[in-house]
Amino acid sequence: MNYINKEIPDFTVNAYQKGELKTFNKSDLLGKWSILFFYPADFSFVCPTELSDLQDSYEDFKAANAEIYSCSVDSQFSHMSWAETTDTIGKIQYPMLSDQKHQLTDFFNILDEQSGQAYRGVFIIDPKGLIKSYTINAMGIGRNAREILRTLQAAQFVEAHGDNVCPANWHPGEETIKPSGDLVGKI
Protein backbone atom coordinates (compact mmCIF):
# COMPACT_ATOMS: atom_id res chain seq x y z
CA MET A 1 0.00 0.00 0.00
CA ASN A 2 1.24 3.49 -0.84
CA TYR A 3 0.99 5.95 2.05
CA ILE A 4 2.25 9.13 0.34
CA ASN A 5 -0.28 11.96 0.90
CA LYS A 6 -2.54 9.62 2.85
CA GLU A 7 -3.99 11.16 5.99
CA ILE A 8 -3.14 9.59 9.32
CA PRO A 9 -6.11 8.04 11.14
CA ASP A 10 -7.82 9.22 14.29
CA PHE A 11 -6.21 7.52 17.25
CA THR A 12 -5.75 7.83 21.00
CA VAL A 13 -2.79 6.14 22.68
CA ASN A 14 -1.16 6.18 26.08
CA ALA A 15 2.40 7.42 26.33
CA TYR A 16 5.36 8.13 28.56
CA GLN A 17 7.33 11.37 28.38
CA LYS A 18 9.93 12.80 30.76
CA GLY A 19 8.64 11.10 33.91
CA GLU A 20 4.94 11.51 33.12
CA LEU A 21 2.20 9.25 31.80
CA LYS A 22 0.21 11.01 29.07
CA THR A 23 -2.29 10.49 26.29
CA PHE A 24 -1.77 11.54 22.68
CA ASN A 25 -4.15 11.61 19.72
CA LYS A 26 -4.22 12.72 16.10
CA SER A 27 -4.81 16.38 16.99
CA ASP A 28 -1.50 16.42 18.91
CA LEU A 29 0.33 15.71 15.65
CA LEU A 30 -1.42 18.42 13.64
CA GLY A 31 -0.05 21.94 13.20
CA LYS A 32 3.60 20.89 13.06
CA TRP A 33 5.69 18.28 11.29
CA SER A 34 5.73 14.91 13.04
CA ILE A 35 8.04 11.92 12.93
CA LEU A 36 6.34 8.64 13.86
CA PHE A 37 9.24 6.33 14.67
CA PHE A 38 8.16 2.72 15.18
CA TYR A 39 10.51 0.25 16.83
CA PRO A 40 10.07 -3.43 17.81
CA ALA A 41 10.43 -3.51 21.60
CA ASP A 42 11.54 -1.93 24.84
CA PHE A 43 14.48 -3.58 26.64
CA SER A 44 15.96 -4.77 23.36
CA PHE A 45 19.20 -4.29 21.46
CA VAL A 46 19.08 -2.12 18.31
CA CYS A 47 16.14 -0.04 19.57
CA PRO A 48 18.00 1.84 22.34
CA THR A 49 20.75 2.80 19.89
CA GLU A 50 18.16 4.29 17.54
CA LEU A 51 16.19 6.11 20.24
CA SER A 52 19.42 7.55 21.65
CA ASP A 53 20.50 8.67 18.18
CA LEU A 54 17.16 10.48 17.78
CA GLN A 55 17.60 12.15 21.16
CA ASP A 56 21.06 13.35 20.13
CA SER A 57 19.40 15.19 17.19
CA TYR A 58 16.20 16.17 19.02
CA GLU A 59 17.02 19.88 19.22
CA ASP A 60 17.57 19.93 15.45
CA PHE A 61 14.17 18.30 14.88
CA LYS A 62 12.51 20.84 17.19
CA ALA A 63 14.31 23.68 15.37
CA ALA A 64 12.73 22.31 12.17
CA ASN A 65 9.25 22.61 13.77
CA ALA A 66 8.96 18.84 14.15
CA GLU A 67 8.14 16.54 17.03
CA ILE A 68 9.41 12.98 17.32
CA TYR A 69 7.02 10.29 18.56
CA SER A 70 8.67 6.93 19.13
CA CYS A 71 6.15 4.10 19.13
CA SER A 72 6.04 0.41 19.99
CA VAL A 73 3.36 -2.02 21.08
CA ASP A 74 4.82 -2.02 24.61
CA SER A 75 2.79 -0.39 27.40
CA GLN A 76 3.44 3.13 28.67
CA PHE A 77 4.49 1.44 31.93
CA SER A 78 7.14 -0.55 30.09
CA HIS A 79 8.39 2.69 28.50
CA MET A 80 8.53 4.25 31.97
CA SER A 81 10.38 1.31 33.49
CA TRP A 82 12.84 1.25 30.59
CA ALA A 83 13.56 4.97 31.03
CA GLU A 84 13.94 4.61 34.80
CA THR A 85 16.34 1.67 34.61
CA THR A 86 18.40 2.43 31.49
CA ASP A 87 20.57 5.54 31.20
CA THR A 88 20.35 5.54 27.40
CA ILE A 89 16.55 5.69 27.45
CA GLY A 90 16.36 7.86 30.58
CA LYS A 91 17.72 10.85 28.63
CA ILE A 92 14.91 10.78 26.04
CA GLN A 93 12.78 13.93 26.00
CA TYR A 94 10.32 13.15 23.18
CA PRO A 95 7.05 11.20 23.69
CA MET A 96 7.16 7.40 23.69
CA LEU A 97 3.78 6.16 22.42
CA SER A 98 2.20 2.88 23.46
CA ASP A 99 0.26 1.23 20.63
CA GLN A 100 -1.00 -1.78 22.60
CA LYS A 101 -4.31 -1.77 20.70
CA HIS A 102 -2.42 -1.68 17.38
CA GLN A 103 -4.29 1.40 16.16
CA LEU A 104 -1.21 2.77 14.41
CA THR A 105 0.67 -0.42 13.59
CA ASP A 106 -2.44 -1.82 11.89
CA PHE A 107 -3.08 1.39 9.92
CA PHE A 108 0.52 1.47 8.69
CA ASN A 109 0.51 -2.33 8.22
CA ILE A 110 3.85 -2.72 10.01
CA LEU A 111 2.99 -5.33 12.64
CA ASP A 112 4.97 -8.54 12.30
CA GLU A 113 2.27 -11.07 13.16
CA GLN A 114 4.78 -13.76 14.08
CA SER A 115 6.59 -11.72 16.76
CA GLY A 116 3.74 -9.35 17.66
CA GLN A 117 6.15 -6.41 17.27
CA ALA A 118 6.28 -3.45 14.90
CA TYR A 119 8.81 -3.34 12.09
CA ARG A 120 11.16 -0.35 12.07
CA GLY A 121 8.97 2.24 10.35
CA VAL A 122 9.57 5.98 9.99
CA PHE A 123 6.68 8.16 8.80
CA ILE A 124 7.20 11.88 8.18
CA ILE A 125 3.87 13.67 8.51
CA ASP A 126 3.12 17.26 7.51
CA PRO A 127 1.18 19.74 9.69
CA LYS A 128 -2.10 18.74 7.98
CA GLY A 129 -1.63 15.08 8.93
CA LEU A 130 -0.53 13.89 5.47
CA ILE A 131 2.30 11.39 5.08
CA LYS A 132 5.13 12.84 2.98
CA SER A 133 7.79 10.14 3.39
CA TYR A 134 8.14 6.71 4.88
CA THR A 135 10.58 3.85 5.17
CA ILE A 136 10.16 0.42 6.71
CA ASN A 137 13.10 -1.74 7.76
CA ALA A 138 13.35 -5.32 8.88
CA MET A 139 13.85 -5.91 12.60
CA GLY A 140 17.66 -6.05 12.59
CA ILE A 141 18.32 -2.93 10.47
CA GLY A 142 18.87 0.23 12.52
CA ARG A 143 18.20 3.74 11.20
CA ASN A 144 20.08 7.04 11.14
CA ALA A 145 18.55 10.13 12.79
CA ARG A 146 20.54 12.54 10.59
CA GLU A 147 19.08 10.97 7.45
CA ILE A 148 15.57 11.21 8.88
CA LEU A 149 16.21 14.88 9.66
CA ARG A 150 17.60 15.47 6.15
CA THR A 151 14.53 13.85 4.62
CA LEU A 152 12.25 15.96 6.84
CA GLN A 153 14.07 19.13 5.74
CA ALA A 154 13.76 18.13 2.07
CA ALA A 155 10.02 17.46 2.53
CA GLN A 156 9.63 20.86 4.17
CA PHE A 157 11.54 22.58 1.35
CA VAL A 158 9.44 20.91 -1.35
CA GLU A 159 6.25 21.81 0.56
CA ALA A 160 7.30 25.47 0.65
CA HIS A 161 8.85 25.59 -2.86
CA GLY A 162 6.87 23.13 -4.96
CA ASP A 163 8.49 24.34 -8.17
CA ASN A 164 11.91 23.11 -6.96
CA VAL A 165 12.98 19.62 -6.00
CA CYS A 166 15.80 18.31 -3.83
CA PRO A 167 18.51 16.13 -5.39
CA ALA A 168 20.23 13.21 -3.69
CA ASN A 169 21.98 14.05 -0.43
CA TRP A 170 20.51 17.58 -0.44
CA HIS A 171 20.86 19.63 2.75
CA PRO A 172 19.33 23.04 3.56
CA GLY A 173 21.18 25.85 1.83
CA GLU A 174 22.37 23.69 -1.05
CA GLU A 175 21.20 24.03 -4.63
CA THR A 176 17.88 22.53 -5.65
CA ILE A 177 16.58 21.74 -9.11
CA LYS A 178 13.79 23.51 -10.96
CA PRO A 179 12.44 20.85 -13.32
CA SER A 180 12.19 21.93 -16.96
CA GLY A 181 12.56 20.51 -20.43
CA ASP A 182 15.91 22.30 -20.70
CA LEU A 183 17.39 19.93 -18.10
CA VAL A 184 16.29 16.65 -19.68
CA GLY A 185 19.38 14.54 -20.32
CA LYS A 186 21.73 17.18 -18.89
CA ILE A 187 21.85 16.22 -15.23
Q: Mind telling me the catalytic residues?
A: 47
- DSSP, res 65: T
The full DSSP string for 95-158 is -EEE-TT-HHHHHTT-EETTTTEE-EEEEEE-TTSBEEEEEEE-TT----HHHHHHHHHHHHHH
Q: Who contacts 176 (Cβ-Cβ below 8 Å, separation ≥6)?
A: 157, 161, 164, 165, 166, 167, 170
- DSSP, res 73: S
- The rounded distance, in Å, linking the Cα atoms of 90 and 165 is 39
